[in-house]
A = this chain, B = another copy of it.
Amino acid sequence: MSDSAFLDAAAELLGPRGLTRDPALMAPWLTDWRGRFSGSALAMASPASTEEVAELVKLCARHGVAIVPQGGNSGMSGGATPDTSGTALLLSLRRMNHIHDLDRATRQVVCEAGVVLQTLHEAAEAKGLRFPLTLGGKGSATIGGLIATNAGGTQVLRHGSMRAQVLGLEAVLADGSVVRALTPLKKDNRGFDLKQLLIGSEGTLGIVTAATLRLSPAVAARAVLWAGVPSLEAARALLLFCQDAAGDALEGFEVLPHAALEAVLAYLPSARAPLSSAHGWHVLIELVADRATAETLSARAEGLLGQALEHGLLEDATIAASEGQAEAFWTIRDSIAPAERARGPAVQHDISVAVDRMPAFVGEAVSAVEARWPGTQAVAFGHLGDGNVHFHVIAPAGVDGLSWQTGDGKAISGFVHEMVTQWQGSISAEHGIGQLKRDDLARLGDPVVLAMLRAVKDALDPAGLLNPGKLVPLAPASDNP
């Protein structure tokens, strides 16, 4: 049997720690963390080195075994969950978790794919530096997974998404050859940017095994502000003002509507509203300073709020008086998703449109969804400065969660994605496509772009063994998106 020949060869290559078929050991990794996708696998491989990954991929190529690469299994779109055929190999990168050459002078670090984000944060902090990307799953998300999905988070406004942090990359391609490009070259015009092509390709073009990442100076001071504004339009006016007046100091600008704040206050008994007054929308602003400008930050933050008030750009505002209060403000922001989930069944969308069109889009989308599906409540919150909100639609009270999600919920998602497409936005701002959105991408994507995606995929993985069924729509797209 071909499977057993493959498994014997893989076991010999990887040793006892490197390969398992034990259902109990595999189970946690065969369902995505949101519990939306489950699959099965021939085995789970845990190679210890890039060389082992390369040899394993060659073995898979020879035997025609599909590979599903996996990091922390904290993705949002089912990109790391195999299908139910049981024919694919689950390839965990978690054993490759070494941090090398964390250098204070060059502000660079080399991480193997399996390094957990929080571990990197701590290692950078210990050297007076920071890695300027963070998100809710930081305790399990791995560097390899963050690169494969081009992860975002709350610091993209100033620092960019994962793609902007990667200075060098090492990856294993579909034929087992290794792209060794860890040397950080700030400028390199030797042809197409293959590094950026691999980043965000969700393991469909290659398997990231290591990366050289840029680090930032530790933050010397921060000021966390909370402002109340009447509308999302007003929040955007405030954003423009802050970008102009605070310049590079503006690190975060997150928005939430009144309803989201209410949900968090109900969900977290210890949470308190930052402002005593009521407002249609709330804005969390973070300003930071490095050593060179730390001294004046507090005065600048106060000046900023004063000027904004004077110009009528906000109704009320406060500055966190302590690091503890600053953390409390952020806890409110970070608790919106769990608080919404606690309210009952919902469908979530991670969407972007051009920043300047976001207020109009949210207004129209909320009205349209709530009118067409009476009893639902649509809530948008998140990264206004990036033109990216998480758009949640909560089911009417009393419905059965599962049947609502597969019925009306699914229809709502299709509707929201159609509307985003009409607004020339993206149906996946930061969570990727995976298996969750592949069909909507096939249905709504620009046929020219879909043809390019397929051509590049076929060119670099002609046998289709790298993370099959993910991201790349297989069937020709409709002519009428």
Contact = CB atoms under 8 A, between A and B. Distances in A.
Q: Which of A161, A192, A193, A445 has the most CB of B within 10 A?
A: A192
B300 A441 contact: no
A353 B161 CA distance: 25
B432 A189 contact: yes
Contact of A448 (B178, B183, B248): B178
A467 interface: no
Interface stretch (A21-29, A56-64, A450-458): A450-458
A248 B213 CA distance: 19
Given A451-B177, A455-B459, A459-B456, A186 B291 contact: no
Contacts of A445: 190
B248 A290 contact: yes
Nearest to A220: B247
Nearest to A183: B424
A293 B290 CA distance: 13
Interface stretch (A238-246, A315-323, A330-338, A407-415): A238-246
A183, A246, A249, A453: residue with the most chain B Cβ atoms closer than 10 Å: A183
Contacts of A432: 189
Report, as a range, how many residues of chain A touch the other chain: 35 or more
A186 B387 contact: yes
Contact of A190 (B161, B354, B428, B460): B428
Given A185-B352, A191-B449, A290-B247, A197 B197 contact: yes
A106 B187 contact: no
Contacts of A424: 183
A452 B461 CA distance: 11
Contacts of A300: 292
A184 B245 CA distance: 23
A189 B193 CA distance: 17
A105 interface: yes
Nearest to A180: B446
A104 B151 CA distance: 29
Contacts of A97: none
A308 to B, nearest CB: 13
Nearest to A448: B177
Nearest to A158: B248
Nearest to A245: B292
Interface in A179-233: 179-181, 183-194, 196-197, 199-201, 205, 217
A291 B196 CA distance: 34
Contacts of A431: 189
Contacts of A290: 247-248
Nearest to A423: B183
Contact of A194 (B352, B388, B452, B460): B452
A453 B189 CA distance: 13
Given A191-B449, A446-B180, A449-B191, A156 B456 contact: no
A149 to B, nearest CB: 7
Contacts of A173: 448, 452
A150 interface: yes
A425 B455 CA distance: 30
Contacts of A150: 189, 193
Given A247-B292, A426-B185, A449-B179, A193 B191 contact: no
A163 interface: yes
Given A189-B433, A446-B179, A248 B245 contact: no
B197 A433 contact: no
A327 to B, nearest CB: 24
A386 interface: yes
Interface in A385-422: 386-388
A477 interface: no
Interface in A279-331: 290-293, 296, 300
A430 interface: yes
Closest 3 A-B residue pairs measured CB to CB? A459-B459, A187-B429, A183-B424
10 contacts: A103-B356, A180-B446, A180-B448, A181-B446, A183-B424, A184-B387, A187-B426, A191-B471, A194-B452, A293-B293
Interface of A: 103, 105-107, 149-150, 152, 156, 161, 163, 173, 177-181, 183-194, 196-197, 199-201, 205, 217, 240, 243-249, 290-293, 296, 300, 352-356, 383, 386-388, 424-433, 441, 445-446, 448-449, 451-453, 455-456, 458-460, 471-472
Given A179-B449, A183-B353, 5 more contacts: A103-B356, A187-B387, A189-B426, A247-B293, A248-B290
